[in-house]
Amino acid sequence: MNDTTPQMQFGIFTVSDITEDPTTGRTPSEAEKIRDTITLAKHAEEVGLDVFALGEHHNPPFWSSSPTTTLAFIAAQTERLVLSTATTLITTNDPVKIAEDFAMLQHVSGGRTDLMLGRGNTGPVYPWFGKDIRQGLPLAIENYALLHKLWREDVVDWEGKFRSPLQGFTSTPRPLDGVAPFVWHGSIRTPEIAEQAAYYGDGFFANNIFWPAEHYQRLIALYRQRFAHYGHGTPEQAIVGLGGQAFMAKNSQDAVRQFRPYFDNAPVYGHGPSMEDFAEMTPLTVGSPQQVIDRYAGMRDIYGDYQRQLFLIDHAGLPLKTVLEQLDILGGEVVPVLRRELAENRPAEVPDAPTHAALVAKAYADGAPREARPHANRGDNVTGSSPYQDTPARQGSAFGAAATRSVA
């Protein structure tokens, strides 16, 4: 279990794209990319990073349709790395299955698990799973209300709009130590998601790789304001994560020369703005390690002190050898300096990055691991009987109304 709580967590995330290398014309196979990603995660721990996060997609050219399976395999080969998603689709996944999968991942990883929830950026995924994209926000609100309840109540009665009712239901396994995985709500454009994160006192992750800083400033400011409004602490105590993107070489000219063909042909932003224009508009930094340090040390001047910084370094067809070299630079030269600089003058009230050990300590007033506690009245998933006689309530309506008011 990761019992060391750094003030900030640094790590990498991958979107799991399978893209042709524009310098060689070679496209790796799915099997190769999956193996490469596992190698990358293990090396992230070796170079001293804290977090590895894996996206979820259900369409080519991406391979990661089942992130928890991959993360469980990585958990078995690492010791301290926090394993997360980037993101888990709260709109098209069944909340019951999310509850079960991530509680299981908690157990097999020794608590080194959290998740980032999002609506995704692939419209066709909704009908593939029998959902209506026009209901994206209501789905996100209702599904998370149920997920939140499943992890915190041993016997759940539920009736909502988008799934069949539950009666006397207990999701298994129960969360490790009786403490739910920490949840980040990820968004690049939607204030209602920032509101949702604030309502529950969860973390808010701004991907921060596509749009200008002013856009994400507004979302994060809203989240901080509403976090305080709901009584979870001061705005400065809200839990914020940021995405980022870098490509480095010993000198900036080499970095620009090496990365340009990958940028120009990248599926997401290739054939659009020039690399120089994109780097000016977004946090993409192509240059020396010191340039990356300077850019990202300045993030707290824009967004305030925050808890997690993740970098995208493996996309757009970059070969594994190059990505591992980037990871060596990130872990060996960049992150140690950023840890020091972002810890300097950090106010005492700013919380550390969330870990399972810290959540257990908060829940029980100490950090001792807990065995699963017996629950005599867990209910019966076979018969649907429940020891509770309360009328099932439609969950999520209170938050839905609050979210509507806050963004009106």
DSSP run (H or E) holding 363 = helix 356-364
| Residue 240 buriedness (CB in 10 A; 0-12 / 13-18 / 19+) | buried
- Predicted confidence pLDDT, tens digits, the chain (408 residues): 444 446 899 999 998 889 999 999 999 999 999 999 999 999 999 999 999 999 888 788 888 889 999 999 999 999 999 999 998 888 888 999 999 999 999 999 999 999 999 887 666 777 777 777 788 788 989 999 999 999 999 999 999 999 999 999 999 999 999 999 999 999 877 899 999 999 999 999 998 777 788 889 999 999 999 999 999 999 999 999 999 999 999 999 999 999 999 999 988 787 889 999 999 999 999 999 999 999 999 999 999 999 999 999 999 999 999 999 999 999 999 999 999 999 999 999 999 999 999 999 999 886 565 555 545 444 444 444 433 333 333 344 456 544 444 433
**pLDDT given at position 398:** 54
| Cα distance between residue 48 and residue 232, in whole Å | 31
Residue 276: its pLDDT value, please?
95
Please give the domain boundaries of the chain with CATH numbers for all domains.
Answer: 9-407 (3.20.20.30)
Give dist(CA 59, CA 18) in Å, integer: 11
Among 155, 129, 160, 131, residue whose Cα is nearest residue 144: 160
How many degrees, rounded to 5, is the angle at CA 24 between CA 21 and CA 28? 50
Q: How far, in Å, CA of 403 to CA of 408, rounded? A: 8
> DSSP alpha helices (H): ranges in 95-135?
95-109, 125-128
CA–CA distance, 274 with 373 (Å, rounded to integer): 57
Farthest-apart Cα atoms in the chain, separation: 69
Q: Model-level pTM?
A: 0.88
What are the C-alpha distances in Å from 377 to residues 148, 153, 170? 20, 11, 10
Query: How far, in Å, CA of 9 to CA of 149, rounded?
Result: 27
Calpha distance 385→263 (Å, rounded): 57
Q: Give CA–CA dist 318/323, Å, rounded.
A: 7
